[in-house]
C-alpha cells in the first residue's frame, strides 16, 4: 500500500491550500485516513482524521479553518486549509489505517508535503 500526498507549497498568511493523498495497492478497505504535521523542533501531531462513514476529528488549533474530506471511490483524502497562519508551517503527512485482509489492519504513512505560510 502506498500513500501519495500532494498540494503543499508556499502561501501567504490568510491564504488557502488543499492537500490530497491517494492510497493505492492491494487492500480490502480503508478504516480511516488523516493528516499529521511536524514543525521544526516539534513532535508530530494530529491535524485531522476522518473515520469510517465520515466521522471527523480535528486538532483544536485548526478547528473552523481546516476541513478534511474523503472520496472513497478514489481512496483519496483531502485537507482544505483556509485562513492559514505562520504557525501552520510544517511538513504534513498523510496517514491511513488499512484493512489489508479482513480483520487485519496496518498503519501506513505518506512521504510528507511541506506547507510554508509566510509573507
User: Which pLDDT belongs to residue 101?
Assistant: 86
Give me the phi and psi of 111, to 5 degrees please.
Answer: -85, -10
Three cell numbers, residue 8? 503543499
- The SS3 call for residue 82 is coil
Q: Is the dihedral of CA 43, 47, 50, 55 positive or negative?
A: positive
> Residue-wise pLDDT tens for the chain (119 aa)?
999 999 999 999 999 999 999 999 988 889 999 999 999 999 999 999 999 878 999 999 999 999 999 999 999 999 999 999 999 999 999 999 999 888 899 999 999 999 999 99
C-alpha distances (whole Å) from 113 to each of 5, 7, 41, 93 are 7, 7, 17, 7
Amino acid at each position: 500500500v502506498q500513500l501519495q500526498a500532494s498540494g503543499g507549497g508556499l502561501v501567504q498568511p490568510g491564504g488557502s491550500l488543499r492537500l490530497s493523498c491517494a492510497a493505492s495497492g492491494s487492500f480490502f478497505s480503508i478504516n480511516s485516513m488523516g493528516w499529521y504535521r511536524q514543525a521544526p523542533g516539534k513532535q508530530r501531531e494530529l491535524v485531522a482524521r476522518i473515520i469510517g462513514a465520515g466521522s471527523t476529528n480535528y486538532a483544536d488549533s485548526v478547528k473552523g479553518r481546516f476541513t478534511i474530506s474523503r472520496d472513497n471511490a478514489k481512496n483519496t483524502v483531502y485537507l482544505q486549509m483556509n485562513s492559514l497562519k505562520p504557525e501552520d508551517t510544517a511538513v504534513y503527512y498523510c496517514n491511513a489505517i488499512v484493512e489489508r485482509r479482513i480483520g487485519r489492519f496496518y498503519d501506513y504513512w505518506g512521504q510528507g508535503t511541506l506547507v510554508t505560510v509566510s509573507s
